[in-house]
Structure formats: structure tokens, C-alpha cells
Structure 1
Amino acid sequence: MFPNTQTITIWDKCGTIPEGEFGFNWSGYKDVGGGRSLLRLLEERSDELRRCFFQIRADFLSILSQSLSSYPSSTKVENKLIFMSLLVEGSTYKSPCLLDFFRLLAFDQELKTMNAKNLRYVGPQAS
């Protein structure tokens, strides 16, 4: 399914991944050249990635809540604020970082099926 390559590129800029290279397009829904779209992979595996996200989020919030409860100065207001946060709300419209998180979950699943030794990011900025 994937070329036998040791370097995987995350491409986050205009243009396409150079010929002969393989990687993942950070933006856009089309598989172009040697690049697979992370957004397309996210859409294809949305149910599985959603379950994974909810499990990670539940574990994180549980640890955070327990940690706050262990401090004597912690108040119920602090706990309520956590559960009113964008992390709990889970809206990718209000928190674009959640979409990045989902992209990284999709990328993680793909990496598990590959024999990659190196990762390379090519783009104008870190998202």
C-alpha cells in the first residue's frame, strides 16, 4: 500500500510533495502526487479516531481532576471551569488545535503500518 521509504514527509505548504518522495498533506482533502491527505484519512477513519479521542480526553480530564482535588486550595469553581473548557466542549470550530490533534491521530495510525525511520516537516509554519 505504501512505498518502502524510510523518510516520511508532512507537507504543509503550497505545491506537492516532490516526485519520488512520500508523505502526508497537512491541508486539503486530495491525495496529490506522493502525498496522502490527512484530512481525507481523518474522514475515512472518523469513527475509530473519534473513539480514540474520547478515550484520551477522558483519561486526561480524570487525571487533571484528581490532581486538582489533591490540592487543599482547589475549589469546585476550578473543577467546573475545566469541564466548561474547549477541550471538554470538543468543537473544532472554536478550537482549531483539536483539528490538528485529530490529524496527528490519523498520522499516528498510518505510521504504525509503515517502516519509517525519519519524519520531516516541510511548511511555512508549525500549526
Structure 2
Amino acid sequence: MLRGIEDGWFTGEIADAAFAYQTKLEKGEKLIVGVNSHTGSVTGDLEILRVSHEVEVEQRRDLADRRSGRDQQAVDDSLAELVRAATGDDNLIEPMLAAVRVEATLGEICGALREVWGDYQEPARF
């Protein structure tokens, strides 16, 4: 399995399947209502949700309040345990849930795992 990931076999299979799907869609062999079939029944433009800058400011303030009210030592300990588990063969679910229970953020959890594994770079395949 790992070899397939490293060699890009899985992503290649997904890309090939996506290409075949898109080809069938464009040739009309695959019909999707509202996309390439019965398009006349679609009425009007869709309204796009726009989030204001004030929402971002409020979310950042809420995050800062949550971080200031948590036990930082418990967060650090749980993230250290997650890193320890990630460097071995342990199941990551329990240490990850423990980190969440002490209010570690998703960014902190991903950052801890990134320290162990780095950033994934998909190999180029054409």
C-alpha cells in the first residue's frame, strides 16, 4: 500500500478515472440533470455566500478567548503524546481525541503531525 502511495499509483488511477468520467460527460454518454441534460429547468443564478471581514475578526477573537481559557500544559502534553504515537506504530485515534478533549486546535494537531511526517507533495504524473 505504501509503495502505491509513494509511486503515485493511487493518484494516477484516480486521475485516469476522472479523465474517463469527464470524457463521457462531454460526449454526452454520461448525463447529469442540470449540467448536460435538462438544463432549461435551471432558473436564475445561485446566490453565493459572502462572509464579511467582521466574521473573521470575531472568529479570531473567539479562538484567542478559547486558547486563553484552556490548560496549555495539558494541550502540550497531549500533542507530545500524539507525536510519540505518530513516530511509532501506535494507533493515532486515541491520542488525537485526547488532544481534542483538552481543546487543541485542528491547526495545532496538524502542525504536530507535520513535524513528524512533513508536508505531502503529490508526485507529478501526466
Q: Same fold (TM over 0.5)?
A: no
> Which has the higher relative contact order, 1 or 2, with Cα contacts under 8 A spaced 6 or more apart?
1
User: For the pair shown, which has the larger CA radius of gyration, 1 or 2?
Assistant: 2
Normalised-by-shorter TM-score class: under 0.3
TM-score, normalised with respect to structure 1: 0.24
Higher strand share: 1
TM-score, normalised with respect to structure 2: 0.24
Higher helix share: 2
